[in-house]
A and B are shown apart, each in its own frame.
Chain A
Amino acid sequence: QVQLVESGGGVVQPGRSLRLSCAASGFTFSSYGMHWVRQAPGKGLEWVAVMWSDGSNAYYADSVKGRFTISRDNDKNTLFLQMNSLRVEDTALYSCARAEDFGGNTLDYWGQGTRVTVSS
């Protein structure tokens, strides 16, 4: 069965960096686009970034563009989110999600998320 397990969250000061990982299993990772989505405390879902299955394209939400970088290692079935210059407003539960196909925007399986808290 499809499994997505995030890790790497924690408490970090504003301006610092954090790298999230998403370990995938139960499917051919290299065939699917992968997304990051976040949910701030008490708020709704906010899409963060997507990387296509072969790593050829990546897109970002305006709120994170220039600060966050999505990447993937198809040999290790792992998705990453490098978060730099973190802000208080980046505090959220970050979840990775699989796209229905190589680069689509329908998210058919999600992980439970890893929590990021940005605070001084």
Chain B
Amino acid sequence: DIQMTQSPSSLSASVRDRVTITCRASQSISDYLNWYQLKPGKAPKLLISAASSLHSGVPSRFSGSGSGTEFTLTIVNLQPEDFATYYCQQSFLIPPTFGGGTKVE
């Protein structure tokens, strides 16, 4: 299975901050990398697919980059509703695997 490693596991930020989360794959996955946002009691949301494609309805302050084994999720101008846990996920091979999550608090 492909191992996904996210860092950091948590970070402290303030409104209007710029936040960067990193995800590393144990082998090359091209751009088969997705980012999700999880909030307690709510359905998870797809933010970014194919490493850098913004999902419908996702604010442009979210962006993704990378290919191969190194990927980044960036949030600029952090808003109150962005405090959540973020997960990366590889969709290159079955089983799809997730990173360990990054809690933005």
Using a CB–CB distance below 8 Å, which chain A residues touch chain B? 4, 35, 44-47, 50, 59, 61-62, 95, 97, 100, 104-113
| B-side interface mostly | loop
B9 to chain A, nearest CB (A): 10
Q: How many residues of B contact A (CB 8 A)?
A: 25
A113 to B36, CA, bound (A): 15
User: Closest CB of chain A to B6's CB: distance in Å?
Assistant: 9
Please indicate the chain B residues that have their CB under 8 angstroms from the CB of A113 in the complex: 43
A-facing residues in B54-81 (Cβ within 8 Å)? 55
* Chain B residues whose CB sits within 8 angstroms of the CB of A100 once the complex forms: 49
10 A-B residue pairs with Cβ-Cβ distance under 8 Å, sorted by A, are A44-B98, A45-B89, A50-B94, A50-B96, A105-B89, A106-B46, A106-B49, A107-B46, A110-B44, A112-B43
Those 9 A-B pairs whose CB atoms lie nearest each other, nearest first: A105-B91, A105-B96, A45-B98, A110-B44, A110-B43, A112-B43, A47-B96, A106-B91, A44-B101
CA distance A107 to B97 in the complex (A): 12
B-to-A contact residues, CB < 8 Å: 32, 34, 36, 38, 41-46, 49-50, 55, 87, 89, 91-92, 94-101
Q: Are A112 and B42 also in contact (CB < 8 A) when A44-B101, A46-B98 are?
A: yes
What CA separation (Å) do A107 and B37 show in the bound complex? 12
Report which residue of B36, B96, B98 has the largest number of chain A beta carbons within 10 angstroms of its beta carbon: B96
Known: A95-B44, A109-B46. 20 other contacts (CB 8 A): A35-B96, A45-B38, A45-B44, A45-B87, A45-B98, A46-B98, A59-B94, A59-B95, A61-B95, A105-B89, A105-B91, A105-B96, A106-B34, A106-B49, A107-B36, A107-B96, A108-B55, A110-B44, A110-B45, A112-B43
